[in-house]
Structure formats: C-alpha cells, structure tokens
Amino acid sequence: MRFRDGQWLPAEGVQIEFAEEVYRTTETPSGKGISLLCPTRKIRSRGDTLNLSTISIDIEPAFDGCLSVETTHWQGAARRTPDFDLFPDGRPDFSSHITKGETSTTVSSGTLSATISRKQHTFEISFHPTSGKKALTTLLNRSVGLAYTPATTTPMQLADMRNIKHYIFTQTTLSVGESIHGLGERFGAFNKVGQRVDLWNSDGGTSSDQAYKNISFWLSSRGYGVFVDTPQRVELEIGSERCCRVQTSLEGQRLKWYLLYGPTPREVLARYAVLTGRAGQVPAWSFGLWLSTSFTTSYDEKTVNSFLEGMKARDIPVEVFHFDCFWLKAFQWCDFVFDDEMFPDPKGQISRLKAEGVVKKVCVWTNPYLGQASPVFAEAAAKGYLLKRKNGDIFQWDLWQTGMGIVDFTNPAACDWYVGCLNKLFDIGVDCIKTDFGERIPSRDVQWFDSSVDPDRMHNYYAFIYNKLVYEALQNRYGKNEAVLFARSATAGSQRFPLTWGGDCESTPEAMAESIRGGLSLGLSGFSFWSVDIGGFEGYPPPWIYKRWVAWGLLCSHSRLHGSNSYRVPWTVDDDDKSEEGCSATLRKWTHLKARLMPYLFAQAQSAVKGGLPLSLRAMCVEFPEDPTAWTLDRQFMVGDSLLAAPVFEEDNTVEFYLPRGKWTNFFTGEVKSGPGWFSETHSFATLPLYVRPNTILVLGKDGETRTVYDYTTDVEVRSYFAEEGARAALVDGGGREVGAVGFKDGEIIGKDALKGDYKIVVVNS
C-alpha cells in the first residue's frame, strides 16, 4: 500500500499521521520491555496534547537475539483469531535487561538491543547488536504511523468507520547496499529491493508476482531478519515507496513484528525456526524419484502399469507413484473415491504394484474442496462441515469444481470427518497425500464455524490448518517421521509439515529460472524441503528442456516428474530415443546419482531440520554471507553444505556460474577451479557444474547404487576434497540417527570403525 505521492505529499485520498516524538517511556506489564507513547505532533505546550492521535510502541524481549515490536493506534480494537502458532517447541530461557541513560533507553534481549533516543521532540529507535552500536536497521523520523482512506475532513467522521479504512505501518531503514530476501516462494527477482510485495496466497502460477506460499518473514544481507506476526494481508513496499526504507503495512489498529539478529543467515534462520518451528523429519524413501500421471491426461490401471513397467525396464527406479486428479470421477473432486470405471480394484492394484517391486509407495491428489455432484457434498453440507456465507447459505462457486464447497477446518467435527476420509485411503494402501490448492479462500461474505475467526486472517492461515490436519493424520497412521505431504499452499509455520512443491510452471528455460528463484526464496523463509514439476507443468517440453530440468530437479531435496496435459515418462518426450543422450538415459543417470548421494543427503537433511535451513535449494548467501556476490546469485544453489550446483539454461549447452573463494573440485571430472570468480563451461546432458566445496569429506553410496533406502554406512565411498584438520561428515542410519562420523585428523581419515563392508577411502585432492 502506497500512502505517499513522492517523498513530500500524501497520496490522493489518503490521510497520514506519523509518530513525531517519544513523549513518555514506561515499562511494559512484563517488566522486561518498554512502552513508548508517541504523539503524532510534537508536544511543545500542554494544549498540544489535545485532539490528536497517539501511537503506542511496545518493545519486548522475546528470546536471545530477538525483540518484538508492536505498534498500536487504538488499544480497544478486538484481537481476532487465528494467530500463528509460535514457539511450538517451547520458548527458550534468555536474559534481558533495560538500561536508562541520560540520552537514551536500551532494552536488550541477549545479543540484540534496541536503543530509544531520549532527546526532546525526537523519534529514533535503533536496533543493534548488544555488543556494539552499529545499527542493523532503525525507525527514524516519520517512519511509524497510521493512515486513513478516504481522507477525513473532520475527526467527527471517525465516529462511523464502516466506510473508512484504517492502516498502521512501520518503515525500517534500508541501508546502502542492503538486499532483502525471502517472503515466501516468490518467482520474481531474488533481491526484493524495489518491489511491492503483497502477502496474500494466490493461485497465480510461477510467472507472476503472486505466490502460493506467502511467508511474512524476510532476511536482510545486513545480518537480521524480520517476522511479521499476523496471517492477514500484509503489504510491503521494499525500497519502492521510499527508496531507503522497507515499509510494512496492514489494515487494522496494530502491527507486530519480531526482529531476529544473526549475524549470519544461518543464525537468523535458526532463530526463526525457534519462533515458528522446524521442518518435520522426512523418511529416506521420499528422496527417491516420484512419478505422476500428470493432471488432465487420460489414464487407467493399464496406463499406470505401463508407466511403471517402462521405468523398470529402463533401470529408472521409481520410489513413489502419484495418482493425480483423475483418479477421481469427473465433477466429483474431491470425494476420496477411486473412479471405479478406470480403477475397479484400487486396493488390489496398489498391492500388486508394491509386490511386483515396480514402486514402493503410492500418493494421491486431494484438495479441501467438494464438488456438489459428489455424494459427499450432500453429507458434508447436511452436517455443517462446509464454509457458509453470512446469510447461512453454503459458500459455493463454480471456480474449479461446479458448485464447489470448502471444508471448514475450524469445525472439529469436520476435521474428524476429513481424517476419516483419509483413513479409508490409507486402508487401501495410500502412503502419502498431495494436498493441492488451499489458496483461493474467500474473505468476504463468509462465516466460519468458529465465530471468533477473522475471515481476512483465515485466508492465508487456512493453508496451515489444512496441511497440519493431513500431516498429523499421516503421522498417526504411519509414524512421526514417516509422514510426507506434497503441498502447494503454505504460510508461516507450514514448514513443520513437509514437503512443498513450486506450483504451475511452463516448460521453458525462463520457467526453470523462475522456479529456482521461488525455491531459493522459500528456503530463506524457513523451509527445509522443496520440489518442482520436473519438465514444467504447462505445455510440452522439448527434449533438451526436459533433460536439463531432470538434472537439477534430481538435485532438489525431493524430485517429481509431473505435467498438465502431457505425460512426463521420458520415452514420450523424445520418441523413445535409446541413445546415451536420450531422455531415458539422462533420467536414469541422474536418478542413480541421487541414490549414490543419499548418505550425504540424508545426513544433511537432519542438520537442515535442526538448523531451520533449506537442504536444497540453498541460497549461496547462507554458506558465503561474507561474499557480496553470493547475495546476488539466483541461477545456482547449494545442495547441503558442500555441493554447488548450477543448472544449464541454454540450448547450446553453455552455462555461466560463480565459485566463491577456495579450491573447488568438479564432482564428475576431478578438475579443480579456484575462486572467487565467474566461469563458463559446456555440458552434455549427463552433467552440469556440480562442484565440491574445499575442506569436504563426502560420503557416497557404492558405485552403481540405485536404491534410495539402504545402509548408509556399508560399502560406501568416502571422498576427501582438500580436507583440513577437523573436517567431518556425519554418518546416519535409515531413521536419520547419527551412528558415527568420519573426519580428518593428523593427515588421515578417522572414524572408519563406523564403516562396514567393502568401503573405499579416496583422497581426491589434498
């Protein structure tokens, strides 16, 4: 929301009132924070205290390295639900204190402090490390305020606010050279400076400024992050209304955000994970290849069998087979019942597929909508399980499904019913669920079962309760660490219910780049696991794009072949080219490589969960924050701590990429390149720039390994790349528990007693 016309004038029809000074400072009720009374004009006489608005700013220690800042105009405004589920693992102990000096007051929460100027007629709040005074960001003159639209001509008009919108906003300073990242799965420019960002979940595809996963958290290159603590619509002007400020605004009377100090991105993300939660652990089998039927394609039991038998014949292991929408009858989405004309015996079919060894797990597509042609619509409607309009009618529209209703997850009985439907799927052998949609949740003319719910806040929050319900149903059936979703919509905290994928992308190199930017941004928003529609969702990928997408898609934490109106089995893309450069051979090579990488990937997954880090795609700035170039890189990524991958976007097989400081080793050839610097290479479809970071010990499966799940300590290959004293690689079992480690000490690999079988030690570079 833009409130100004340039630097000096208010926008047409907008009235703005700024906090002009800190008039009074008191302790908050907790005794740990401070409350600032800030009038919207400078108080030079007693008469100035009349007939004006004031803004209260409460600054509270939250935990070590984190402060909350709540800005309020009218304190009597109702506090509506839902709220984000913060500190899901408990609030850690921390120390805080308030220091009052002659010219300032400072409130500290461990390593982070806020200093408020006590100079007369001044408004200035500086956020800085407790150990220093160099500001991370500040709230300066005319940076906190409220706005009305339309503008009023007399305060008497505020007696009736029904046709007047009230906004609250803050503007934190944007320093010289500072870049801003995150804010969910955003497909535009990686650095958000210069952008207007609207945090409102939308089904807009990957080639727009809309996002399926709007996360109200951003990460700054200056060593801090900000989490806006509301699921309602938040509008940000990031160096776009005022070039030197990040403006956060919402419609309402109060705005609360948390500032988290690093100083590194790793530390900021770790603190964000304390606040909103860490990803759940995902099972090892989920890292294997997922194969989908695609969306609008025609398929039945015979088609499914032919896909899986064809993949097996080509030595391409499929871990999970996914039945997309048309496992259900047309017009009856989503009633949880297989179309009996296409799948007369779904339980038997699933059992046979698993027994024949062509697939290990089965996933089905669902969503939280019920088409009125389905018998379950009448059942859910009669029992009050569907969202209603204010007049008592069930909310329906013909967008997506004819006469579609929306399951009201604020109704506990509706939740129980929905879980019961899922359990029937689990009974026939379904192992995981694709939780599609959840973005188009109406916020006007609706009445939720829980009358305390604010419809505006429910729009984004619906994704959280929807995915939480399904994830916990999977946990209850299969075990805490065996639950896997394939979710499209998300909000803050949804990282606890892995995993998510990047939504509807086109089959173009530009869409590949869009998707990578989305994955990088989501990773910087606290999500550890992410996937993408390999080959692109929309259109018919030409073979070269399919093969290039396969290469980096198998280096994502999770890998799924999926399309819209065309299949994604490789032989349908290139007329079954059987050469070593064909789609089948390319998919086989990259699937086998991911299987070999599993000892490394699964160990890295555990540390990613613990630290609130993305496994892959991991932005380069997470690992190399001291390198200014790393904050600009949006066409390459890290896979865990030690592997750098650069996808190829050009049909002529060329690629440019950047290596940070140090000696980097080509994974495939052993060639060494020294950074920092930019490099150009040409690659066949079997390779891309995949470089091993210096001072790395890399544990791989044996040569020729094709399984995703195996003993990650037996018959493995341990490679050393310019290892130095103290280098270490964790060894984990199939449940992710650390069972040992290999390291480098006194010029030798140590920890070999944890290895079993015919293992190999290879010093690639020393």
Predicted pLDDT of residue 766: 87
Token couple for 132: 């220093």
pTM, whole model, 2 decimals? 0.97
Degrees, nearest 5: CA angle 490-491-495: 70
DSSP secondary structure code for residue 729 in this structure: E
Query: Which member of 504, 533, 538, 641 is catalytic?
Result: 504
| CA atoms of 577 and 132, how far apart (whole Å) | 63
DSSP secondary structure code for residue 242 in this structure: S
Among 169, 200, 207, which residue's Cα sits nearest to residue 503? Answer: 207
Predicted pLDDT of residue 319: 98
Name the pairing type of β-strands 289-292 and 559-561. parallel
Within 8 A by CB and 6+ apart from 324, the residues are: 292, 293, 294, 295, 365, 434, 562
5 is a catalytic site residue: no
3-state helix, strand, coil in the chain (%, to 5): 25, 30, 45
Sign of the four-CA dihedral 416, 417, 418, 423: positive
How far is residue 383 CA from its own chain's centroid?
35
Predicted pLDDT of residue 34: 98
Token couple for 710: 């195996």
Predicted pLDDT of residue 715: 98
Q: Are 466 and 190 in contact (CB under 8 A)?
A: no
Token couple for 163: 């046709």
Query: Which member of 60, 235, 241, 439 is catalytic?
Result: 439
Q: Which run of H or of E encompasses 645?
A: strand 643-645
Token couple for 535: 């080959």
Asked if the bond preceding 243 is cis, omega within 30° of 0, the reply is no
Backbone angles phi, psi at 750, to 5 degrees: -115, 170
pLDDT digits (tens, 9 = 90+) for 570-585: 999 999 999 999 999 9
Query: Which member of 58, 324, 436, 456 is catalytic?
Result: 436
pLDDT < 50 stretches in the chain: none
Predicted pLDDT of residue 362: 98
Q: Are 677 and 659 in contact (CB under 8 A)?
A: yes
| CA atoms of 24 and 38, how far apart (whole Å) | 7
Token couple for 285: 């089998």
Backbone angles phi, psi at 582, to 5 degrees: -75, 170
Q: Are 582 and 570 in contact (CB under 8 A)?
A: yes
Token couple for 185: 């799965």
| CA atoms of 99 and 111, how far apart (whole Å) | 14
504 is a catalytic site residue: yes
439 is a catalytic site residue: yes
DSSP 289-320: EEEE--SS----HHHHHHHHHHHHHTT---SE
- Structural domains in the chain? 4-175+226-255 (2.60.40.1760), 284-368+413-611 (3.20.20.80), 640-765 (2.60.40.1180)
Place of tokens 């399980």: 385
